[in-house]
Amino acid sequence: MNADDLIVQESAYEGLTAWGEKLPHALLLHGPKGIGKLQLAEHFARFLLCEGRGAALQPCGRCEGCRWVRAGSHPDLRLVEPEAMARQTPAEDAEPDAEGAGRSKKKPSIEIRIEQVRQLDDFIHMGSHRAGRRVAIVHPAEDMNAPTANALLKNLEEPPPGAVFILVSHRPARLLPTVRSRCVQLPLAAPNADAAARWLDSRGVKDAARWLAFAGGAPMRAAELATDARGERIGRWRESLDQGAPGGIEAGSDREELELLVDVLQKYAFDRALESFGLMSKYRSTAAKGQPVSPQAWLAYARALGRERLLARHPLNPKLFAETLLRDFPGTLHS
């Protein structure tokens, strides 16, 4: 088995492979963000499109089907995502679309566009290029507005043989009920800590258990945080908090950074409250012993941050917003 085959949702994957020929034509994988739903969908697509696995439960990784999937160019696989999050650049993106050349200057859409779903019509009905299945992954499915979802619905209602839709959703309640009801739903929870830690290790994430705790058990989120610039930033912030010196924290002014700051402060306060009660911290966000502060003060601060969370998305004055959050930090060391 190569490293790409290590997936965090192992048991759910086994469940999917067990469908065999009875596989429903539309699946809805849903659950919290960052727990490996998309990875599961993509790995299962590889399984379905593998031409050399025989009776094995893993894609062989060597056949032409597997190689094309890995290269992101399998003709019988489509990943439909909002432009803003697309990692692959499928060939059709290069084609001029109906709305003309002006589109290229627009900001990438944060929604799945109706054109993307309409392009699935041809894809699904054209017949397989490799005499196997055709797989369309829609992620995240809640990023479709009603007309787009209705366009998809047509395909979900009358799929040609061999077509498989895999919808991935963090918020299934936001899907049209008619879309939900056409799919066999597969609710997913965070994977067990061992599977998550193994996967994080395989990605070279240091301090995996700690990041996993901070990410609330969601390994994809943990890997993201630990390996990009945010990881280092969070580390520095925690150090300042441990030293009772929140004034040393410089949060930038963009929305994401503010949201991250609120998240870090809230988890930190919650962990300190637990520690003051003599309990294990939940998010493992503290290192050194901080200032003596009552658990009530920590909890009050964590609650206040819960309210600020929404404001962090649209602060009137980002700099002032961050300063106010940090000013109220209960563990400040006053000299």
Contacts with Zn ion, residue ranges (CB under 5 A): 50, 52, 59-60, 63, 66
Q: Which is nearer to Zn ion, 5 or 121 (CB)?
A: 5
Provide φ and ψ at 48, rounded to 5°: -65, -30
Exposure string for 132-153, b = 16+ CB within 10 A, e = fewer: ebbbbbbbbbbbbeeebbebbb
Q: Which is nearer to Zn ion, 131 or 316 (CB)?
A: 131
Joined tokens for residue 247 = 């004034």
Q: Which is nearer to Zn ion, 52 or 127 (CB)?
A: 52
Question: Measured from the CB of residue 14, what is the shortest distance to Zn ion in angstroms?
Answer: 18
Whole-angstrom distance, CA of residue 213 vs CA of residue 121: 42
Question: Measured from the CB of residue 49, what is the shortest distance to Zn ion in angstroms?
Answer: 8
Question: Measured from the CB of residue 61, what is the shortest distance to Zn ion in angstroms?
Answer: 6
Specify the amino acid at residue 49.
L
Closest CA to 46 of 33, 56, 35: 56
Q: Which is nearer to Zn ion, 63 or 114 (CB)?
A: 63
Question: Measured from the CB of residue 64, what is the shortest distance to Zn ion in angstroms?
Answer: 8
Whole-angstrom distance, CA of residue 129 vs CA of residue 78: 13
Question: Measured from the CB of residue 58, what is the shortest distance to Zn ion in angstroms?
Answer: 9
Q: Where are the alpha helices (DSSP H) in the chain?
A: 10-17, 37-49, 64-70, 114-125, 146-157, 177-182, 193-202, 208-214, 219-227, 229-242, 255-276, 295-311, 318-327
Question: Measured from the CB of residue 72, what is the shortest distance to Zn ion in angstroms?
Answer: 15
Exposure string for 179-190, b = 16+ CB within 10 A, e = fewer: bbebbeebebeb
Query: Residue 165: enclosing H or E segment and its boundaries?
Result: strand 163-169
Q: Which is nearer to Zn ion, 13 or 270 (CB)?
A: 13
Q: Which is nearer to Zn ion, 70 or 171 (CB)?
A: 70
